[in-house]
Amino acid sequence: MNREPSNRDRSLRNARILVVEDNPDQGIVIRKALQQTFPDAQLVQVGTPEQAISYLEELKDCEWNIPQLIIQDLYMPQREDGWQILDAIRHFPMPICTIPVIMLSSSDHPDDIREAYERGSSCYVVKPFAFDQWLERFDGLRQYWWNTASLPTVRYSF
């Protein structure tokens, strides 16, 4: 899993990832796995829909601090709470509304997956059980979102 960073990896040093997870134990596991797979990223972790929306609201006027990726739990603790965050993100002004959102959930129910994409989720990941599986999932996300996809460009406005 350890490898030399690509040019794209180097260009994303200090990129921000917003993690929205209400379960403290899951939050610790997610943080540790992300720190190993996205070692140069700055992780911002919040535990409620209100905190996530408030954090993004604060960034509307300082675009250089917006996260390049959002990883959020769907059931926080209710599914409607996860939808609330996703809907709010997609209704923010540019460039916040264009941030890729990775939906995490223990649910593999087709209705949850379908609705996540219909509401604007960029990816849906079923939460694994073992830490090495978390590393594999996040390494796959890093390979795609850091090395393949074009993340939103931050345009500075003063």
Higher pLDDT, 46 or 143: 46
Q: Are 19 and 45 in contact (CB under 8 A)?
A: yes
pLDDT at 57: 94
Domain coordinates of the chain in residue numbers? 13-147
The pTM assigned to this predicted structure is 0.85
Q: Are 110 and 9 in contact (CB under 8 A)?
A: no
Q: Are 122 and 102 in contact (CB under 8 A)?
A: yes
Task: Supply angle C-alpha 108, 17, 40, rounded to 5.
Answer: 120
pLDDT tens digits, one per residue of 1-30:
444 555 444 445 678 999 999 999 999 999
Compute the Cα dihedral for 104, 136, 138, 51 and give only its sign: positive
- CATH code of the domain occupying 13-147: 3.40.50.2300
Is the model's pLDDT at 137 over the cut of 60?
A: yes
